[in-house]
Amino acid sequence: MPVEVKGEQDVRSFVRTLVKEQGSEKAELIPILHQINHEMGYISDEAIQELSERMQIPASHIFSVATFYRMLSTEPRGRHVIQFCESAPCHVAGGRQVWQSLQKELGLTNGETSADEKWTLITTSCLGVCGIGPVVIVDHDIYGNVTPDQVPTLLKNYD
Ligand code: FES
């Protein structure tokens, strides 16, 4: 569950604490970005600015790293993030129909967040569990062998 970090000053002091704890070596950038994303739900502009100042790394570079990894986001996400595996083994196991069902149930497409901020839907490449494809991950819960008609019930598990 993301922590509540409100306001620019809170975000900046949160980032300063992380850099102090983990160090400002360039190799720490990705672990720190993951931690910010995990705790805040996304990586805000303020967080990028503060990281840039503390780690002496251009903000443009931090932004490109943050947008490269699908698990990181520079936009606020919903309370629950649904990752759908779009790689070939899941696709041939029926993934396309599951993807259609997810989009229909949620009224969202790839990368979108619902108006009530409950859901964010994203696609991802192979999650390493192809033997149980199609695979859907909601937050940290992995669902395998998902069928289109299971999607509504699966979504009901989340408040
Ligand atoms: S292809 Fe979907 S988990 Fe590997």
Domain boundaries, the chain: 7-68, 80-155
Q: Is 132 in the pocket of ligand 1 (CB under 6 A)?
A: no
Residues with Cβ within 8 Å of 42's Cβ and at least 6 positions away in sequence, in order, are 73, 74, 75, 76, 77
User: What per-residue confidence (pLDDT) applies to 108?
Assistant: 97
Render pLDDT for 102-127 as a digit per residue (tens, 0 to 9). Answer: 999 999 999 999 999 999 999 999 99
Q: How far apart are CA 82 and CA 127, in angstroms?
A: 13
Render pLDDT for 9-30 as a digit per residue (tens, 0 to 9). Answer: 799 999 999 999 999 999 999 9
Residue 138, SS3 per DSSP: strand
What is the chain's mean pLDDT, rounded?
Answer: 93
38 band by pLDDT with thresholds 50, 70 and 90: confident
pTM: 0.76
Render pLDDT for 68-79 as a digit per residue (tens, 0 to 9). Answer: 987 889 988 999
Q: Are 87 and 125 in contact (CB under 8 A)?
A: yes
Q: How far is CA 37 from the centre of its chain?
A: 8
Closest CA to 141 of 124, 157, 159, 152: 157
User: What per-residue confidence (pLDDT) applies to 1?
Assistant: 46
Mean pLDDT of 81-95: 95
Ligand 1, atom nearest to 132 Cα: 3
What is the best residue among 86, 99, 123, 130 to mutate for testing ligand 1's pocket, by most ligand atoms within 8 Å of CB? 130
pLDDT exceeds cutoff 80 at 6: no
Q: How far is CA 38 from the centre of its chain?
A: 8
- Under CATH, domain 80-155 is a member of which superfamily? Glutaredoxin (3.40.30.10)
CA of 50 to the centre of ligand 1 (A): 36
User: What per-residue confidence (pLDDT) applies to 41?
Assistant: 83
Q: Phi and psi dihedrals of 64, rounded to 5?
A: -70, -35
User: What per-residue confidence (pLDDT) applies to 3?
Assistant: 58
DSSP H helices, the chain, are 7-22, 29-40, 45-55, 59-68, 88-90, 96-106, 151-155
